[in-house]
Amino acid sequence: MAFPLSLDEPAQVLITGASRGIGAALVQQLLALPEVAGVHAVARNWPQTDATDERLCRYAVDLTDPAQLAEMAQQLQQQTERLHLVINCAGFLHQPDGQQPEKSLQQIELAALEHSFRINAFAPILLAQALLPLLRGKHRSSFASLSARVGSMGDNHLGGWYAYRASKAAQNMLLRTFAIEWHRLNRNGCCLLLHPGTTDTGLSKPFQARVPEGKLFTPDYVAERLLAVIAEHGPEDSGQFYAWDGQPVPW
């Protein structure tokens, strides 16, 4: 596997949600590529273990805190002039002993809506805002964020899951709007919304019983597919929504 973008310089990459699941798999796959000079891995918390690769730099950041994002961006600018690939893998669906996806209108709670929106919608656009100095210019760059097919209005035939659906739909609009502005600041930039499919992680664990055979993917497989989708799309596709298999997802 080659790095998904064609560059004339070593690649600098940032991955959020990087301590587990798809994010952790992306970190490992990108570190395996000789074209990658640095992987900036972001998570809310990190285990007390040492990084095993000198190209890996870890950041403990709450993506919903603008002050922490600004501090991270300042540290990044001291290490590199630009970012070539950003993939946001942070997201929220449920808490084991707390918030669960709503099955009916009566289960909606304001606090649950606010929590979902903070992580699924607000964090990605705040991340883009903080990283903009490293994304603007003339260099080839891709900014991808994990959305979800259930956030598609055109694909919503079952209802339910109000907070998760709406927060992912809000992320789609925020990042599509960012894509339009970013194009004026870097015509070689590409912003993508990506549906990873149902992945065998803690986020999907309680909901895997109804997943059709062959449609529950490993984090390693999903990471590989997401990088392939990013590789297939350039600036002319910026602001679009694609699934893990490269097929467009309706808004």
Tell me, what CATH number does 92's domain have? 3.40.50.720
Residue 248 maps to a domain? no
- What is the pTM (predicted TM-score) of this model? 0.94
Q: Which residues, other chains included, contact 21 with Cβ-Cβ below 8 Å and sequence gap of 6+?
A: 89, 199, 201, 202, 203, 219
Per-residue pLDDT tens listing for the chain (251 residues)? 899 999 999 999 999 999 999 999 999 999 999 999 999 999 999 977 766 789 999 999 999 999 999 999 999 999 999 999 999 999 999 777 778 999 999 999 999 999 999 999 999 999 999 999 999 999 999 999 999 999 999 999 899 999 999 999 999 999 999 999 999 999 999 999 999 998 877 665 555 556 666 677 899 999 999 999 999 999 999 999 999 999 999 99
What is the per-residue pLDDT for 213? 67
Residue 2 maps to a domain? no
Residue 101 maps to a domain? yes
Residue 214 maps to a domain? yes
What is the per-residue pLDDT for 221? 96
What is the per-residue pLDDT for 75? 97
Residue 5 maps to a domain? no
Tokens standing for residue 162: 């109000």
Distance CA 59, CA 237 (A): 30
Residue 55 maps to a domain? yes
Q: Give the 3-state secondary structure of the chain.
A: CCCCCCCCCCEEEEEECCCCHHHHHHHHHHHCCCCEEEEEEEECCCCCCCCCCCCEEEEECCCCCHHHHHHHHHHHHHHCCCCCEEEECCCCCCCCCCCCCCCCHHHCCHHHHHHHHHHHHHHHHHHHHHHHHHHCCCCCEEEEEECCHHHCCCCCCCCCCHHHHHHHHHHHHHHHHHHHHHHHHCCCEEEEEEECCEECCCCCHHHCCCCCCCCEECHHHHHHHHHHHHHHCCHHHCCEEEECCCCECCC
Residue 249 maps to a domain? no
Domain count, the chain: 1
**Domain enclosing residue 27, as ranges:** 11-243
What is the per-residue pLDDT for 212? 65
- Region of residue 227 (phi > 0: left; psi between -120 and 50: alpha; otherwise: beta): alpha
Rounded to the nearest 10 degrees, how much is the dihedral formed by the CA atoms of 67, 186, 193, 44? -20
What is the per-residue pLDDT for 205? 55
| CA-to-CA separations, 247 to 114, 218, 232, in angstroms, rounded | 31, 19, 11
Give the residue among 153, 185, 168 at the shortest CA–CA distance from 92.
Answer: 168
Residue 213 maps to a domain? yes
